[in-house]
Amino acid sequence: MRFLYSMLLTLLLPVILVRLLWRSLRQRGYRENIAERFGSYRQAPLRGCIWIHAVSVGETRATEPLIRKLMALYPARPILLTSMTPTGRATAVELFGDSLTSAYLPYDLGSLHGRLIDRFEPAVLLVMETEIWPNLLHVCKTRSVPALIVNARLSERSARGYMRFSPVRSLVHQALKEVSVVAAQSSADAERFRALGAPRIAVTGNIKFDLTLNVDLVTMGRGWRTGLANRQVLLCASTREGEEALLLAAYREVFEVTERNTVLLVIVPRHPQRFDEVAGAVAEAGLSVVRRSESISDAAINAADALLGDSMGEMAAYLAFADIVIVAGSFLPLGGHNLIEACAAGKPVIMGPSTFNFSEAARLAEDQGAMAKVNDAVEAVRTAKRLLQDVAARKAMSDAGLKLVAANRGATDRTVALVQAALEGK
């Protein structure tokens, strides 16, 4: 089955390359370092490195506590961090600078992965969260590079998709057999991986609970707050295409014009290539908007109805600035984005119905009173309005979020123990 998969992927490479170039029209980064996607690298060779693959921004940010711990334990081992998206790669540079090597993962053909292994000679591969690449895992097995899937999650929907078609099920089953260990976020994730054929599984928890908010960014966000003239802040975090229109319409419906003077709406889109588009949508909704990239002065903020967070890597500042956080990616069937950061910042969280990317964290947060899960954008904004008027309810949700994060720390140490075992077996 893997042979047929490889043949199909080879035939599709011209189409994939055209799509890559098409995406580069909206996001220039996709036309850079294309050779790396075919296993050709200019970076200096490495030897015995710890190789970590994180597909994009969220997964790359989740690597931070893990990478910091591994750097401290293995100062002599270089680290290679591969990505699939320009924003993921930019995040790697933002977080780690030149303390590690950043590169793109090649397309999933054995010969291309072989080139990467020849260049960087990894001692171990850690794949973050949900990436199951059959040829990558097979080449690592044949080249004696132990591969671990860490912080692993598998939604019910994804599991059903893998199980639905026999060829896909067979391909995934074969791939998981070549993984040294799956370090699952929860027992439910572990069971789904086990049903797909993973032979060795450990439940380690979610590394994202171990993330710490950047102190400088938190200080900056609190500084913005000091200049705000008697207004509360409603943050819509990590919005995706189609969600801004829903949230803006809901905001106009729920808040009367006079009430908007007491609330600053903050929208932080998930993808930077959409910043201009979202600024236009806010203006079309009849709201005056100030952009973070242009001005964040007290006068500019107080004169505006909305602030567009068109900056990268400043989510901790926006969270510190906010009273209420609506975590987006959850109002369309996209699975939601990271609510743990908002809980760690002590902010009440509201999410829509689609939370499968963070199913366990969302369940825990809802059960413990740190998050309100709603059916749609209108209900989200209505809930936000109610909470803005209820100091005691906000305090209770804030305390619950902080308690939730504190109780679920430790996944990094449990994951590192598995990595140590894999390295000692080399």
SS3 235: strand
Question: How do the domains of the chain map onto residue ranges?
Answer: 2-205+411-424, 215-407
What integer pLDDT is reported at residue 162 of this predicted model?
87
The pLDDT of residue 21 is: 86
**421's tokens:** 């075992």
* Contact call for residues 51 and 74 (beta carbons, < 8 A): no
CA 285 → CA 245, 270, 312, 332, distances in Å?
8, 20, 24, 20
Contact 382, 363 (CB under 8 A): no
Instruction: Examine the residue annotation and report whether 178 is marked as an active-site residue of this protein.
Output: no
**Mean pLDDT per 10-residue segment, the chain (426 residues):** 90 91 86 94 96 94 96 97 95 95 96 97 96 96 97 91 88 95 96 95 96 94 88 97 98 94 96 94 95 84 93 94 98 96 98 94 97 98 98 98 97 97 85
State the helix-helix crossing angle for 377-388 and 243-254, rounded to 10 degrees: 50
Kindly report each contact of residues 355-364 with a partner whose C-beta sits within 8 Å and lies 24 or more positions away, as own/partner: 355/330, 356/155, 356/156, 356/157, 357/153, 357/155, 357/329, 359/153, 359/155, 359/156, 359/188, 360/153, 360/185, 360/186, 360/188, 360/189, 360/206, 361/206, 361/208, 361/209, 362/336, 364/404, 364/408
Exactly one of 32, 36, 59, 366 is catalytic; name it: 59
| Long-range contacts from 200-205, C-beta under 8 angstroms, 24+ separation | 202/414, 202/418, 204/150, 204/151, 204/411, 204/414, 204/415, 204/418, 205/408, 205/410, 205/411, 205/414
Per the CB < 8 A criterion, the answer to whether 59 and 129 are in contact is yes
Residue 426 has what pLDDT?
56
Q: Is the dihedral of CA 291, 294, 297, 299 positive or negative?
A: negative
| C-beta pairs of 127-132 under 8 Å, 24+ apart in sequence | 127/53, 128/52, 128/53, 128/54, 128/55, 128/59, 128/62, 128/63, 129/54, 129/55, 129/59, 129/62, 129/153, 130/154, 130/158, 131/53, 131/55, 132/172, 132/175, 132/176
What is residue 191's predicted lDDT score, i.e. its pLDDT? 96
| Domains 2-205+411-424 and 215-407 belong to one CATH topology | yes
* Amino acid type, 78: P
Over the Cα atoms of the chain, what is R_g? 22
**pTM exceeds 0.75:** yes
Any idea which residue has 């973070």 for tokens?
292
Alpha helices in 255-350 (DSSP H): 257-260, 275-284, 298-303, 315-321, 340-344
CATH class of 215-407: alpha beta
CATH class of the domain whose range is 2-205+411-424: alpha beta
What residues contact 210, with CB distance under 8 A and at least 6 apart?
A: 65, 409, 410, 411, 412
Judge contact between 373 and 348, C-beta under 8 A: no
Question: CB of 30 within 8 A of CB of 20?
Answer: yes
Cβ within 8 Å of residue 83, ≥6 positions away: 53, 54, 55, 56, 60, 89, 91, 92, 102, 103, 104, 105
Quick one: 25 exposed, middle or buried, by C-beta within 10 A (0-12, 13-18, 19+)? exposed
Residues 6+ apart with CB under 8 A from 296: 224, 290, 307
Residues 233 and 8: their CA atoms lie apart, in Å, by 50
What local confidence, expressed as pLDDT, does residue 23 receive?
A: 87
Residues 164, 160: Cα–Cα separation, whole Å: 6
